[in-house]
Amino acid sequence: MSDGAYEAAARDWLDQDPDPETRDELRWLLDTGDAGSPAASTNAGASADAGGAADAGGAAGPGDSAELADRFGARLEFGTAGLRGELGAGPNRMNRVTVMRAAAGLAAWLNAQSTASAVVIGYDARHKSDVFARDTAAVLSGAGIAAMVLPRPLPTPVLAHAVRHLGADAGVMVTASHNPPRDNGYKVYVADGAQIIPPVDAQISAAIDRVGRVDELPLGEEWQTLDDGIVTAYEDALDRLPLGDARDISTVYTPMHGVGRDVLLEAFARAGYPTPRVVPEQGDPDPDFPTVAFPNPEEPGAMDLALALAERTGMELVLANDPDADRVAVAVEGRLLSGDEVGGLLAEHVLRHTSGEDRLVATTIVSSSLLRRIAAAHRVRYAETLTGFKWLARAGGPGDRPVFAYEEALGYCLGGDGGRPVHDKDGIGAALAVAGLAAEAKRAGRTLRDLLDEQAERYGLYATRQVSVRVTDLAEIDTVMRRLRREPPAQVGDRKVLAAEDLATGPDGLPPADVLRYRLDGEARLIVRPSGTEPKLKAYLEVVEHVPNGDVTATRREATTHLDTLENAVHTLTTP
């Protein structure tokens, strides 16, 4: 498109935009070229100190073609992760026009599937989340679809549970999860309570492409706002989780400025645990996330306040949800446990408190290989999927009874003999189970770190690490992946590559994926893939070390050295 075409597209957008804030932002941009206008800053809702982009772009002169090209030369792509992006005006941003188009596309897809549909809509406390939820309800209602909106900002697992509980045909959750403050997003669930997978994503995306001007969409007003009974139903379902009967554990908890606090505290009270001590600076929902650079428990520094509070007060366990509370991070004795470590511990906890050879445990191709060993030891079924709970929620086949699934990025889904409350990752339910596991260990005079050592002695030490390579230009990711395919490495660090596998061909019955997997000598592994939600390349490392004479401490040091060597090699391999 030419500069004139970008400006014409912007003015057409301006004519149909129902949001006065983004209209002011776009007028400012067209008139002055300043993407850092007061309107844009307000709409982004993020301070520079909080990792936001309040001054992104800067003054650039009237009708800045680069800024217009960024906003109007592309659009946010709708895929299996729905939509996620920076707030602002234009099709390459999250805004009311983008959301209304997505809702209209979803409505068209649903109406093509059946003559009577219902959708439940949830939202978190990010900037514009409540507005986007109402817009979605209005568009769906105008298309003849029954829309039900959750009563207030609530965790994603409440929405995922509500889809099945209410017998809805689909669900929408307005959230950007753990992304920076300037972002928002739009997740879509289908009737089984799991997020969409191909070909549904492509079908909805095609329907979105056919949507015309949003100011010509029929809007309804007859949607239903649900009451807190929907939250109670979710809490009732959590009562069926295999928690064990130990309850004596003291806990520090942070919702990371998100929406998890009230639901988690109620869940802990119902289960009979002592009330967690909430990090006061991070207890209330705040869309600017003022105490963290990124509201992601995995990011360096995000857990500092929680760890400091636990140290001051002598609390035994630290739990942290991400802002939409679908993930949980765990720390004990001042150390943050990895997602793989928690996954291995929770797997055995669930298997101890359930029964039957039809039980299924599942994880992803980038998570630790330990779960396969645990499944074999407990004589239960095992499945492996692509990354994401949209796949894990559907793992297994006829005759399988899923009781546990996890991915290394702090996502866990638990079920028991009464089934799974949520067909998605659930940071509230997982927090309950971790507390039960820690209390059980305490009763036996042990800690979670002791349990990790015992697993290492029993199965070997499975040491893992994720390495993220951030980029400013997404094209750099494609460059690296093409080069690795064209010239597969013969060695990574000090280890030979024994086998290289390109998952773009869909091996082992898996759907095709942009993933490269390398088996290295000495029981080691490297997996490389682009992030599905952030501008970065991800590498997953694993080394397996046998524990001689029960000396787990020395073995951990040795494994760390090996991982350091592999990480250095990964940075060299992934340089664009």
DSSP 94: B
The distance in angstroms from the start CA to the end CA of the chain is: 28
Beta bridge partners of 65: none
Q: Is 187 helix (H, G, I), strand (E, B) or coil?
A: strand
Our measurement of the distance from residue 487's CA atom to the centroid of its chain's CA atoms, rounded to an integer in Å, reads: 32
Quick one: tokens of 50?
């909080």
- Sheet of 328-332: strand order equals 277-278, 251-254, 317-321, 328-332, 335-336
* Burial class of 283 by CB neighbour count within 10 A (0 to 12, 13 to 18, 19+): middle
Instruction: List phi, psi (to 5°) of 462.
Output: -100, 100
**Has 250 been annotated as catalytic?**
no
Q: How far is CA 91 from CA 1, 39, 48, 68, 282, in A?
A: 14, 18, 24, 11, 33
Does residue 51 sit in helix, strand or coil? coil
SS (H, E, C) 488-551: CCCEECCEEEEEEEEHHHCHHHCCCCCCEEEEECCCEEEEEEECCCCCEEEEEEEEEECCHHHC
Residue with tokens 């492509």: 202
Alpha-carbon distance 497 to 500, whole Å? Answer: 7
Tell me which of 37, 129, 177, 369 is the catalytic residue. Answer: 177
Close Cβ partners of 455 (under 8 Å, ≥ 6 residues apart)? 344, 345, 348, 370
CA distance readout (Å), 319 to 342, 493, 544: 12, 35, 27
Which tokens sit at 181? 């403050």
Q: Is the preceding peptide bond at 199 cis, omega within 30 degrees of 0?
A: yes
The whole-angstrom separation of Cα 413 and Cα 125 is: 23
Measure the CA–CA gap between 421 and 168, rounded to whole angstroms.
15
Which residues are CB-neighbours of 305 under 8 A, at least 6 positions away? Answer: 254, 279, 281, 282, 291
Helix (H, G, I), strand (E, B) or coil at 462: strand
- Angle made by CA atoms 71, 77, 83, in degrees to the nearest 5: 95
Q: Which two tokens stand for residue 127?
A: 């900037």
Cβ atoms within 10 A of the Cβ of 280, count?
Answer: 10
Cβ-contact 170, 119 below 8 angstroms:
yes
Q: What is the set of active-site residues?
A: 177
